[in-house]
Chains A and B, each alone.
Chain A
Amino acid sequence: MSADPAPDPTPRFAPGARVRVRDAWPERRRLPSGAPSCHIRTPHYLRGREGEVQAVLGAFANPEDLAFARPAPRRLLYHVLFAQPPIWQEGGEGDTLLVEIFEHWLEPAPESADASGKEAA
Chain B
Amino acid sequence: MSAPARAESLARLERLVAALRAKGLVSEEELAAMQARTDRASPEIGARMVARAWLDPTWRALLLQDGAAAAERMGVSMAGAPPLGVLENRPGLHHLVVCTLCSCYPRAVLGYPPGWYKSFEYRSRAVRDPRGVLAEWGTTLPAGTKVRVVDSTADYRWMVLPMRPEGTEGWSEDQLAALVTRDALVGVALPQVPARAAA
Contacts and interface: CB of A to CB of B under 8 A. Distances in A.
B149 A41 contact: no
A25 interface: no
- Chain A contact patch, size range: 20 to 34
A41 B39 CA distance: 28
B151 A43 contact: yes
Nearest to B97: A98
A106 to B, nearest CB: 13
Interface stretch (A7-15, A30-38, A88-96, A110-118): A88-96
Contacts of A45: 100, 127
B109 to A, nearest CB: 18
Contacts of B155: 57-58, 60, 63, 77, 100
Interface residues of B, number: 21
Contact of A95 (B83, B148, B151): B148
Contacts of A63: 154-155
Contact of A90 (B129, B148, B151): B129
B153 A101 contact: yes
A92 B148 CA distance: 10
Given A92-B147, A95-B146, A100 B129 contact: no
Given A57-B156, A95-B131, A101-B153, 5 more contacts: A45-B100, A60-B154, A60-B155, A63-B155, A97-B151
Interface of B: 83, 85, 95, 100-101, 127-131, 146-156
